[in-house]
């Protein structure tokens, strides 16, 4: 039997079955017929035979490859079926030998001059060791991935030549990226189980990093001291939901956090020669509602302490323009990347996040906002609730995959407005309980001042005096209500909010005021 020029894996089993005749296996015959005009796809029949022989000789060999090798990874279809039947027998606690497999292959087409049961016996008879079983499995797996890459490339070429009207180039690129990622994920062998000792070591390293970091945080610092104290920072692999009614300041708070994390970004040489992140992170901001220019204006307004309304209208003084210019120069190199594409799917978002992670080392994802994402077409037909469930599940999986926190903003239902106490509750999360279920942290932003401003009584009345006292007590004050946290306490954090420049900051308290000298 002919094979490609790939060498046999090191440690080939002695006495492995001799390559069969030119008419033995259909796939090999086809490869030979096309060999004159085309290159044969990567494969290694001898490695497949050696692995199957080792499994039939000693079923423990299957344990060494079961975690990453599947029947479809075999080039020869018959070998894939032999592997599948043997694996199913072993999983059921039975022995997989040429004898026990015989009944499943009695009606198969002969392999050259051998029946398939005889071929099974030949495979087992020529196998002498299982030491190299994992190496054979990796060889088979890697060649299968290469064949899939070839198939994917051919599909890309065909789609580019004959694309239908409703499949524009942008969608072709997204589809190819998605397939490439799926192929990359299938190509990972996986770590499998780790001992509790290994998990403990990782936990101690996390605690050590938190001890050495300013503020003693294990996660990314939001730049808001009281919020960090409650959360311990934004934790890797967490899905954090920040929800609120319109005009509460969701986007402003998310923008403030993104800026604070990006501004704190600092690296140092690591032990492996690469760069190790010491503080802060590279931030990817998916602004589905607001343009990148509007987002940049907000951050510029906050840092220069110039109201964004004045910036947009050009009503700024010379001194304010100087502050804007200085702030712009300071912000120019900020590791904050903005994607302003509206209405993207969660799959497209994931593909772009992975690309940013590869290129720049992504450390935090911010999404403004959740309800503007779309799911797959199949889920969209099932209803919005099912679509939101797919989106939140996908975001949680992405956070775990990239090992970064995802801060996703969310709208609240109108039922908040019907209550006397308009502080949000978990039941107010809009469209799906999956948001609460999949999230590691759920926070609500609430500003009582917003509602009081719209309920001003007639001036000069006793009610107006009472109203003035109430609004004075909550002036420029916001509450972040932590309603759910898997690994920490719930509660309320009060922040200072300057609406003119959309800036959240720590609320001044007596213990933070400078010492007074009378």
Of residues 235 and 432, the one with the higher pLDDT is 235
Question: Is 471 a member of any domain?
Answer: yes
Task: Of 113-122, 141-150, 178-187, 206-215, give the lowest mean pLDDT range.
Answer: 206-215
Interval 408-427 mean pLDDT: 80
Q: What is the pLDDT of residues 30-80, one digit of tens each?
A: 444 444 456 788 999 999 999 999 999 889 888 888 878 889 999 999 999
Question: Is 201 a member of any domain?
Answer: no
174 and 241 in a single domain? The answer is no
The total domain count for the chain is 2
CA distance 503 to 256: 7
Question: Is 12 a member of any domain?
Answer: no
Residue 143 pLDDT: 92
32 and 100 in a single domain? The answer is yes
361 and 460 in a single domain? The answer is yes
Percent share of the chain, pLDDT over 90 = 12
The pLDDT of residue 483 is above 60: yes
Interval 82-110 mean pLDDT: 89
Confidence band for 97, pLDDT divided at 50, 70 and 90: very high
154 and 297 in a single domain? The answer is no
Of residues 425 and 188, the one with the higher pLDDT is 425
232 and 181 in a single domain? The answer is no
Domain of 48 in residue numbering reads as 26-186
In this structure, the number of other CB atoms found within 10 A of the CB of residue 173 comes to 12
Of residues 185 and 396, the one with the higher pLDDT is 396
Q: Could you tell me the CA-to-CA distances from 387 to 174, 369, 393, 397, 411 in Å, in that order?
A: 20, 15, 10, 15, 15
Residue 272 pLDDT: 67
DSSP summary character for residue 157: H
178 and 223 in a single domain? The answer is no
Q: What is the pLDDT of residues 212-258, one digit of tens each?
A: 555 556 678 888 888 888 888 888 888 999 988 887 888 888 888 98
- Mean pLDDT, the chain, rounded, equals 78
Question: Is 97 a member of any domain?
Answer: yes
329 and 440 in a single domain? The answer is yes
Q: Of the spans 31-40, 171-180, 196-205, which averages the highest pLDDT?
A: 171-180
166 and 242 in a single domain? The answer is no
The CATH number for 353's domain is 3.40.50.300
DSSP 433-448: THHHHH-SEEEEEE-H
Residue 192 pLDDT: 54
In angstroms and rounded to an integer, the radius of gyration of the C-alpha atoms of the chain is 31
Strands 491-498 and 503-506 turn out to be: antiparallel
The CATH number for 130's domain is 1.10.860.10
Residue 185 pLDDT: 60
CA distance 472 to 475: 5
CA distance 153 to 374: 27
329 and 416 in a single domain? The answer is yes
175 and 258 in a single domain? The answer is no
Give the tokens for residue 139: 């060889």
- What are the φ and ψ backbone dihedral angles of 151, each rounded to 5 degrees? -65, -40
Long-range contacts from 333-336, C-beta under 8 angstroms, 24+ separation: 334/259, 334/262, 334/263, 335/262, 335/265, 335/281, 335/282, 335/283, 335/360, 336/258, 336/259, 336/262, 336/282, 336/283, 336/285
The pLDDT of residue 381 is above 70: no
First to last CA, the chain: 98
CA distance 251 to 295: 9
Domain boundary among 167, 186, 205: 186
Residue 186 pLDDT: 60
The pLDDT of residue 8 is above 60: no
Task: Of 73-82, 115-124, 260-269, give the lowest mean pLDDT range.
Answer: 260-269
Confidence band for 506, pLDDT divided at 50, 70 and 90: confident
CB 257 within 8 A of CB 414: no
Confidence band for 206, pLDDT divided at 50, 70 and 90: low
Question: Is 64 a member of any domain?
Answer: yes
Domain boundary among 166, 186, 206: 186
Q: What is the pLDDT of residues 137-149, one digit of tens each?
A: 999 999 998 998 9
In terms of Cβ atoms closer than 10 Å to its own Cβ (0-12, 13-18, 19+), residue 198 is exposed
The pLDDT of residue 195 is above 50: yes
Residue 43 pLDDT: 92
Of residues 19 and 471, the one with the higher pLDDT is 471
Domain boundary among 186, 203, 236: 186
Residue 1 pLDDT: 42
Q: What is the pLDDT of residues 145-172, one digit of tens each?
A: 899 899 989 888 888 888 777 778 877 8
Question: Is 485 a member of any domain?
Answer: yes
Confidence band for 7, pLDDT divided at 50, 70 and 90: very low
Residue 79 pLDDT: 94
Pick from 203, 298, 197: which is nearest to 250 by CA? 298
The pLDDT of residue 188 is above 80: no
416 and 342 in a single domain? The answer is yes
Question: Is 200 a member of any domain?
Answer: no
Residue 84 pLDDT: 92
Q: Of the spans 177-181, 456-460, 464-468, 491-495, which averages the highest pLDDT?
A: 491-495
179 and 277 in a single domain? The answer is no
Q: How many residues does the chain have?
A: 518
Buried b or exposed e, range 15-25, using 16+ CB within 10 angstroms:
ebbeebeeebb
User: Taking every pair of C-alpha atoms in the chain, what is the biggest distance, in angstroms?
Assistant: 107
CB 363 within 8 A of CB 283: yes
Interval 310-339 mean pLDDT: 81
The pLDDT of residue 322 is above 80: yes
Interval 8-14 mean pLDDT: 39
SS3 per-residue string spanning 310-375: HHHHCCCCHHHHHHHHHHHHHHCCCCEEEECCCCCEHHHHHHHHHHHHHHHCEEEEEEECHHHCEC
Question: Is 206 a member of any domain?
Answer: no
């Amino acid at each position: 039997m002919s094979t490609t020029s790939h060498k046999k894996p090191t440690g080939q089993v002695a006495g492995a079955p001799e390559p069969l005749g030119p008419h033995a296996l259909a796939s090999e015959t086809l490869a030979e017929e096309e060999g004159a005009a085309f290159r044969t796809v990567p494969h290694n029949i001898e490695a497949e035979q050696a692995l199957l022989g080792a499994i039939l000789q000693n079923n423990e060999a299957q344990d060494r490859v079961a975690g990453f090798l599947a029947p479809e990874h075999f080039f020869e279809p018959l070998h894939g079926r032999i592997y599948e039947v043997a694996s199913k027998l072993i999983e059921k606690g039975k022995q997989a030998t040429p004898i026990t497999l015989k009944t499943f292959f009695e009606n198969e087409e002969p392999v050259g001059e051998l029946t398939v049961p005889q071929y099974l016996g030949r495979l087992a008879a020529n196998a002498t060791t299982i030491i190299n079983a994992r190496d054979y499995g990796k060889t088979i797996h890697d060649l299968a991935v290469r064949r899939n890459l070839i198939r994917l490339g051919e599909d890309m070429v065909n789609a580019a030549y004959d694309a239908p009207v409703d499949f524009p180039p942008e969608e072709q690129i997204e589809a190819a990226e998605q397939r490439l990622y799926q192929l990359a994920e299938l190509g990972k062998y996986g770590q499998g189980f780790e001992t509790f000792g290994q998990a403990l070591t990782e936990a101690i390293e996390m605690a050590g990093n938190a001890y050495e970091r300013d503020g003693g945080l294990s996660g990314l610092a939001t730049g808001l001291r009281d919020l960090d104290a409650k959360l311990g920072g934004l934790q890797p692999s967490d899905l954090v939901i920040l929800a609120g009614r319109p005009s509460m300041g969701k986007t402003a708070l998310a923008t403030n956090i993104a800026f604070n994390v990006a501004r704190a970004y600092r690296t140092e040489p690591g032990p492996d020669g690469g760069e190790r992140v010491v503080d802060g992170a590279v931030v990817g901001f998916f602004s589905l509602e607001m343009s990148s220019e509007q987002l940049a204006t907000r951050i510029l307004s906050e840092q220069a302490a110039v109201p964004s309304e004045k910036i947009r209208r050009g009503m700024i003084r010379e001194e304010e323009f100087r502050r804007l210019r200085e702030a712009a120069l300071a912000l120019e190199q900020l590791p904050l990347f903005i994607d302003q594409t509206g209405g993207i799917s969660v799959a497209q978002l994931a593909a772009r996040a992975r690309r940013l992670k590869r290129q720049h080392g992504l450390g935090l994802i911010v999404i403004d906002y959740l309800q503007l994402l779309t799911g797959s077409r199949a889920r969209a037909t099932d209803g919005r609730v099912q679509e939101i469930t797919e989106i939140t599940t996908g975001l949680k999986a992405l956070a775990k995959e990239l090992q970064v926190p995802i801060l996703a903003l969310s709208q609240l239902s109108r039922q908040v407005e019907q209550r006397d106490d308009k502080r949000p509750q978990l039941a107010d999360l809009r469209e799906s309980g999956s948001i609460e279920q999949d999230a590691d942290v759920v926070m609500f932003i609430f500003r009582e001042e917003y509602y009081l401003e719209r309920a001003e009584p007639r001036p000069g009345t006793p009610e107006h005096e009472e109203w003035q006292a109430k609004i004075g007590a909550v002036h420029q004050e916001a509450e972040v209500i932590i309603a759910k946290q898997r690994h920490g306490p719930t509660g309320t954090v009060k922040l200072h909010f300057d609406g003119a420049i959309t800036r959240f900051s720590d609320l001044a308290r007596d213990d933070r005021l400078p010492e007074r000298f009378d």
